[in-house]
Chain A
Amino acid sequence: MEEINCIGLCCPQPIIKIAKAIANVSPGDSLILLADDPLILLDLRAWARMTGNEVTPISETRFKVTRRNQNV
């Protein structure tokens, strides 16, 4: 699974990067986001709700992001 490394980046940069990356995977496929901004989970969840995608925290800095929306 492809990893998007956003360690050291603050919001909204990790969200911008994951949004660009998710557009290049097929619906149902997933990416791993690495991010250590303490606010990342708050904004990742809001992004997922707004764009119709799915986020599953794996650890504090590792998140599985699954494309659910056909029209990302």
Chain B
Amino acid sequence: MAHAISNFQLESPLHPKAREALADAIDQGWSDPGKLSNQNAKARILRNQALDSIAEQLAVTPSELEIIGEPLLGNYFAIAGLLHAEDTLIYSAVDRKEIFAIAQSHRKTIELPVTNMGQIAPEDFPNSAATPDSVFALQVANGETGTIQRIEELIAISGSARIACDYSSCGPRIALPSRWESAYFDAKSWQGPEGIGIIAIAEAAAWANPLPHIGAARTPQSVSLPLILAAAVALEVWHEEEKNESPRLRSLSEKLRQEISATVADCDIAGDLNSSLPHITSLSFLYVQGEELLRRLDAVGIAVDSGSACTAENLQPSHVLAAMGVLTHGNIRITLHHGVSEKEVNELIAAITKAVAELRQ
């Protein structure tokens, strides 16, 4: 894939196949699938085909799927649909901010710490919370550091607590665990369109729409049909590409980590690649300001993210880095997307090395 600039930020353009599908879908999938005419029947068929395809790729049944048009509400639906007022909500210090917001408005909560590798230690899960009166918000992998949790060990130790999985950062790179009640996916994680959140609700789960509602619909159903169709196509082609891309990106991430460690002193790498997603790397450099580093890289056509306080609107550093005890200043976050070339990664390594050296002078 050709890049106008070398994009190592979290966001990536819509997959080209999904872009084609979106253009077709805007022509064909504009009518309301809930109405009765032939036009509507056509839209209904397209919608059902898309849901069947998404369900197959995520290894769930179509009836277990709900699609929403506001992805930031995805974790809310997944968790609040299981959570009763007297239940205990268990979550971790590296969860997404939306989870903290849910916890703030709930009475009984337990926040689990993480190790310096970003993982929850199973022994930190309190025995008293391993009951059906608990909901465990389990972030499968972290979007800032790529750290994957010890999912099956955590599920085993959580006893009969109900499990709401957050797959928004990793998508189907990681299979659903042996036991789950709800799971939340974001189509952006597979180069799908912005604005599509997918909630899987296990058939047997006691889940109820947490929003005020009339009727039997479990979610608002106000989502754009063309975007659902584009998300389904993106997922299908991304999944196929991922078979080859995953090991290739892991190898590039390994090269990135090794070469930066070897050439740049005082670099703090968050987490271990062996327990991380293959495409995310978080690097913090001592004595360097994150914003300056980001701007230096931008000046040479390289776009990265940063978790440093100086790059955040609220001037707070990444709560993930803070929870892991990783250096919060001089941080950059690198995402390797499908199609990134080894040449681009070499250029990235050279640009980081040069920029850090110059900033430390």
Contact = CB atoms under 8 A, between A and B. Distances in A.
A25 interface: no
Contacts of A15: 286-287, 329
Nearest to A37: B309
A43 B322 CA distance: 9
Contact of A42 (B266, B287, B322): B322
B41 interface: no
Task: Tell me the dominant secondary structure on chain A's binding face.
Answer: helix
Interface in B256-298: 266, 268, 284, 286-289
A42 B317 contact: yes
Contacts of A23: none
A50 B330 CA distance: 14
Task: Tell me the dominant secondary structure on chain B's binding face.
Answer: loop
A50 B327 contact: yes
Please tell me the size bucket of the interface on B: 10 to 19
Interface string A28-56: 00000000000100110111011100000
Interface of A: 10-12, 15-16, 19, 39, 42-43, 45-47, 49-51
Nearest to B322: A42
Interface in B158-203: none
Interface string B310-328: 1000000100001001111
Nearest to A13: B289
Contacts of A43: 327-329
Contact of A11 (B322, B325, B326, B329): B329
A45 B286 contact: no
B312 to A, nearest CB: 11
Contact of A12 (B268, B287, B322, B325): B287
Q: Which of B266, B327, B330 has most chain A Cβ within 10 Å?
A: B327
B16 to A, nearest CB: 41
Contacts of A42: 317, 322, 325, 328
A47 B325 CA distance: 10
A8 B330 CA distance: 19
A12 B266 CA distance: 13
Given A43-B327, A47-B327, A12 B317 contact: no
Contacts of A10: 309-310
Contacts of B289: 12
B328 A46 contact: yes
Nearest to A49: B325
A11 B284 CA distance: 13
Given A39-B309, A50-B268, A12 B326 contact: no
5 contacts: A39-B329, A42-B322, A43-B327, A49-B325, A50-B268
B130 to A, nearest CB: 32
B286 A39 contact: no
A46 B287 contact: no
A49 B287 CA distance: 14
Contacts of B328: 11, 39, 42-43, 46
A11 B268 CA distance: 16
Nearest to B292: A12
Given A10-B310, A11-B309, A39-B317, A46 B325 contact: yes
A16 to B, nearest CB: 5
Contact of B268 (A16, A19, A39, A46): A46
